[in-house]
Structure 1
Amino acid sequence: MPQLLQLNSLNLATLIRPGDTVMWGQANAEPLPLTQALMAQRKKIGRFKVMLGIANSPTCLPEHADCVDFMSYCGAGANRELASAGLLDILPSHYSELPALIASGALRIDVLLLQLAPANAEGRYSLGIASEYLLPALEHARVVIAEVNRQAPWTYGERSLGAEDLHAILYTDRAPLENPVSRIRDSDQRIAGHIAGLIEDGSTLQMGIGAIPDAVLSALGEHRDLGAHSGSLGDGVARLMHSGVITNQRKTRDRGISVGGILMGSRLLHDFASNNRAIELRSTRYTHDAQVLASIDRLVAINSAVEVDLTGQINSEVATGNYVGAVGGALDFIRGARDAKGGLPIIALPSTAGAYSRIVARLSGPVTIARSDAGIIVTEFGVADLRGLTLKQRVVKMLDIAHPDHRPMIQAQLDAIGYARFP
């Protein structure tokens, strides 16, 4: 039987060793009482490492680096403060590779902290808000510590947990974290309009997170029999399922079910997903698998980027010298949509960020996605379908979707490079 923990006498040093690597559910799946206790007790434990996902809470702060080494696959959310301070080591891995890295020990996970929904009548706990890479970690961690949160949604997925899977349990009753409401701008709505015009009835959607995906989902109210297969599911998916737009009835895989790895939304989403058999959360091994994705007809993959150059090279990681994004799962889904019958691999981004153009002659950061994988690029000024185009043809298409005020500057940069040497 697992050890029962009490918050007022919680001593994680009896379970976590110096040198351990600790992982927990990202975003709203974070077991907040456990992670806050971990940071508070870091000196008692001794130096250890934390593998972070997206952080929706300020649990990990730069001052905690006195005893903690931080690593992550991304610089999103509260991770940006650690990254700006030079205290976040980045694992530049495709999301689909994380399970194999964990299984091989290349990404060793010693201690796993989970937020679970209470046990059902059969005594089985649900992973609640996230499954994704937590399932592979569960198979390999030496110690599994669970916050069993009375308010966490009970969701269906690949597996549930029993007492035999847990070493210690902390019972709580608190509202899980929620994603803030996206601020949708006029440019986001215009981008969403372009994308909605590309999507056929019966398509299956993969959405990233943020204002543009939210705007796209809001623009699909007149569509019919859409499906969902995504790394994350948000409030927009719940709304479209409730209204009958997302039915999953024309999916060629997992018919009738919206499949995701994590819930990334508000209480509206948590309540809708709880005990709802039309939603299943599964491992990254499934949600990002190349063969699975290629088998989903009319898969529409919609992801964002920091900047795109005139030939279709994509930087999704670094902006103005700061690590703000991730390699993540974008390429997994772009390739999946490319290989799927009738699929659409879409990268969507506003044409500008402040005074800067996001359509550029040359990237200011790394090439996260090669131009050989480029598909459809969308800004508020239109759609550039780069599939099958030469470099010179791509330049023309990309200039057409840049902000008109920046086109002369981009053209001047291009002239300075020269077509023959570009790039």
Structure 2
Amino acid sequence: MPEQRILHAGLRERVASAAQAAALIRPGETVAMSGFTGSGYPKAVPQALASHIEAAHARGEAFRINLLTGASTAPELDGALAQVDGLAMRMPFQSDPGARQRINAGALDYLDIHLSHVAQHVWFGFYNQIDTAVVEVAAILEDGALVPTTSVGNNKTWLDLAQRVIIEVNQWQPVELLGMHDIYYGTALPPHRRPIPMVRGDERIGQTTLRCDPDKIAAVVLTDAPDRNSPFNPIDADSQRIAGHLIEFLKHEVARGRLPANLLPLQSGVGNIPNAVLAGLGASGLRDLEAYTEVIQDGMLDLLKSGVLRYASCTGFALSPAANEEFRRNLDFYRSRIVMRTQEISNHPEMVRRLGCIGMNGMIEADLYGNINSTHVMGSSIMNGIGGSGDFARNGFLSIFLSASTAKNGTISSIVPMVSHVDHTEHDVAVIVTEQGLADLRGLSPKQRARAVIAHCAHPDYRDALQDYFDRACRDSYGKHTPHLLPEALSWHQRWLDTGTMQAG
């Protein structure tokens, strides 16, 4: 019943259908929606908006919007709007196949930016004003305060800056989430910024709810629909080997006195390899670990439940169906160990540097000198986006990038002479890990880096070719500091496009 979730009398009177709410959004608007890695996104209004757009197109009318979110969302949002050609611009991160296809076909403008930049850039006025915000909540309290759901993302900024707000109250989201969030309202614009008053990742510096002027809320839509929850693939042998190399390295750093016995706060990207690393940490003997990250996935719940992880700070969840059920069954346990923050705090460079986070992120490819491509296939085709990996790579205590050494059944080498797109320069990369081994690049010159990457990370099928390229580059390149043969540097990518494999015939 609405009364159970909408306790503010005035807002209870604004309950509307998804179609009625979506009709408030006009062509050309900039619309900001909640959602981060498939959690906490609006479920009904985007689909109703897609239907409005489709009908408008059938009448020969132009109707597209500019869409901002926290990060990736789900088929009900990105997928539905992309399918009806309803998006003119999308930022800052996406993972939907339909949206990706339109981006790579040149039909959808995409702004792929660091997640820590999104809120502040909107506050700075770098983009259009936000016309409408559509934000999912678990409940509306008597005073109008909004109980966040399974992600916070940029919701605070959207609610603050939007001219009009539509709230989805999702009855699937547990009201017991109240108390898990820490919404900090102390940020300010330059030149009036103050230090963030937090020195530990588990500190609380804000309030447990979001606030919004009730006069801006034009509609409240009741929903009862789950987050997108995709199961993770079983941990394969390569992922286990990658995890083993990394955990051995971290233990070595502890033994050398460069890391404390409980490491430093961990940041982990989403995917099967990071999940394998988290599983490996559970069996490593390390204890009292901490996490200051963007996303909590299955492996972190396991570490919290086993007591290996003391707390986890995040801005959203990315849980499989089984892990989501575990979370909901034991919400009281997790509420005391998880802090959910706004994206501008979870990814803030000030906090990443202060806490000394260990960043562990995936990559598409690395080159001999440690430059990382984490976003583009063959230099031109976007995969998902940079997300928050750069926030942690540039500012963390350690920046670690992980990948299998080959892709596409061995036809692509993840270690190449020169990356086809640069997201993280060699200056921001400390460690590269594949199933073949680990290259510690700290304190190494470019040529020393190349030797370490070839020896420890390259697949045997490509190692000799990489060594041959490097040897000839050292002999024949224009300069000898970072040797490259420019006519050949990207030839591996072109060979794959031409023949379907990077291996020479």
Give, as a single letter, the amino acid of the residue that structure 2 aligns with 1:91: L
Select the residue among 269, 277, 281 that pairs with 1:208.
269
Deviation at 1:146, TM superposition (A): 1.3
Please tell me whether residue 68 in structure 1 is matched to residue 126 in structure 2. no
User: Partners of 2:93 and 2:376 in 1: how far apart?
Assistant: 10
Q: Residues 239-250 of structure 1 correspond to what in structure 2 (within 5 A)?
A: 239-248=302-311
1:188-240 superposed Cα distances (whole Å, 9 cap, x missing partner): 11101112223354222100000111101111113200011001111211111
State whether structure 2 residue 41 is matched by structure 1 residue 30. Answer: yes
Pick one of 395, 404, 414 that aligns with 1:350. 404
Alpha-carbon offset, residue 8 of structure 1: 7.0
1:182 shift after superposition: 3.2
* 1:135 lines up with 2:156 in the alignment: yes
The code of the aligned residue for 1:74 comes to F
Cα-Cα RMSD? 2.4
Give 1:56's aligned amino acid: A
Offset, 1:116: 0.9
1:304 matched to which residue of 2? 362
- The equivalent residue for 2:454 is 399
Query: What CA distance in whole angstroms lies between the structure 2 residues aligned with 1:161 and 1:328?
Result: 24
Q: CA deviation at 1:163?
A: 7.0
Q: Is the 8 A contact 2:364 2:375 kept in 1?
A: yes
1:115 shift after superposition:
1.4
Distance change >3 Å, CA 310–CA 9, structure 1 → 2? closer
Structure 1 stretch 77-86 or stretch 224-233: which is displaced more? 77-86
Q: Deviations over 1:291-335 (max 9, x none)?
A: 2112214x2210111100000111111013420032222121122
User: Are the equivalent residues in 1 in contact too, given 2:46–2:81 (CA < 8 A)?
Assistant: no
Of 396, 414, 436, which residue of structure 2 is paired with 1:381? 436
Q: CA offsets per residue over residues 331-354 of structure 1, 9 Å max, x none?
A: 21122223xxxxx22111111112
Q: Following the alignment from structure 2 to structure 1, what is the Cα–Cα distance between the partners of residues 124 and 326?
A: 34
| Alignment of structure 1 residues 73-152 onto 2, 5 Å | 73-78=92-97, 79-108=99-128, 109-119=130-140, 124-152=145-173
**Which residue number in structure 1 is paired with residue 30 of structure 2?**
21
Q: Counterparts of 2:451 and 2:287 in 1: how far apart (Å)? A: 34
Asked if residue 55 in structure 1 is aligned to residue 78 in structure 2, the reply is no
Runs of at least 5 residues in structure 2 that lack an aligned partner in the other structure: 1-9, 57-61, 184-206, 255-260, 485-505
Whole-Å separation in 1 of the counterparts to 2:429 and 2:149? 35
Equivalent residues of 2:363, 2:401 under 8 A apart: yes
Inter-partner Cα distance in structure 1 for 2:18 and 2:301: 37
Q: What is the Cα deviation at residue 47 of structure 1?
A: 3.5
Tell me if the contact between 1:235 and 1:269 (Cα under 8 Å) persists in the aligned partners.
no
Cα pair distance change 1:319/1:101, threshold 3 Å: same
**Is the aligned partner of 1:232 residue 2:295?**
yes
- Structure 1 residue 152 displacement after superposition: 1.2
Which amino acid is the alignment partner of residue 90 of structure 1?
A: Y
Counterpart CA distance in 1 for 2:247 and 2:297 is 17
Per the TM alignment, residue 388 of structure 1 is displaced from its structure 2 partner at its CA by: 1.1
The code of the aligned residue for 1:34 comes to V
| 1:62–1:175 distance in 2 versus 1, CA, 3 Å | closer
Cα distance in 2 between the residues matched to 1:284 and 1:62:
25
TM-score for the superposition, normalised by structure 1: 0.88
Distance 1:348 1:263 in 2: 21
Which of the numbers 219, 236, 250 marks the counterpart of 1:185? 236
Alpha-carbon distance change, 369 to 128 in structure 1, aligned in 2, over 3 angstroms: same
2:116 alignment partner AA? S
Give, as a single letter, the amino acid of the residue that structure 1 aligns with 2:460. P
Larger radius of gyration: 2
Any residues of structure 2 matched to 1:207-356 within 5 Å, and which?
A: 207-221=268-282, 222-248=285-311, 258-266=312-320, 267-268=324-325, 270-271=327-328, 272=330, 276-297=335-356, 299-320=357-378, 321-338=380-397, 344-354=398-408, 355-356=411-412
C-alpha separation between the residues in 1 aligned to 2:20 and 2:351?
42
Q: Percent identity?
A: 29
How far off is 1:371 after superposition? 1.0
- The alpha-carbon deviation at position 123 of structure 1 amounts to 6.2
Q: Secondary structure at the match of 1:176?
A: coil
CA pair 60-36 structure 1, distance change in 2 beyond 3 A = same
Judge conservation of contact 2:67–2:87 (CA < 8 Å) in 1.
yes
The answer on 1:361 being equivalent to 2:361 is no
Structure 1 residue 405, shift from structure 2 partner: 1.2
**Please, which moves more after superposition, 86-95 or 218-227?**
86-95
- Residue 106 of structure 2 aligns to a residue whose secondary structure is coil
Aligned to 1:253: none
- 1:242 is paired with a residue of what secondary structure? helix
Q: Decide whether aligned partners of structure 1 residues 363 and 269 sit closer, same or farther in structure 2, where only a CA change above 3 A counts.
A: farther
Preserved CA contact (<8 Å) 1:114 1:127:
no
- In the alignment, the residues of structure 1 paired with residue 306 and residue 67 of structure 2 have an alpha-carbon distance, to the nearest angstrom, of 41
Distance in 2 (alpha carbons) for counterparts of 1:170 and 1:176: 16
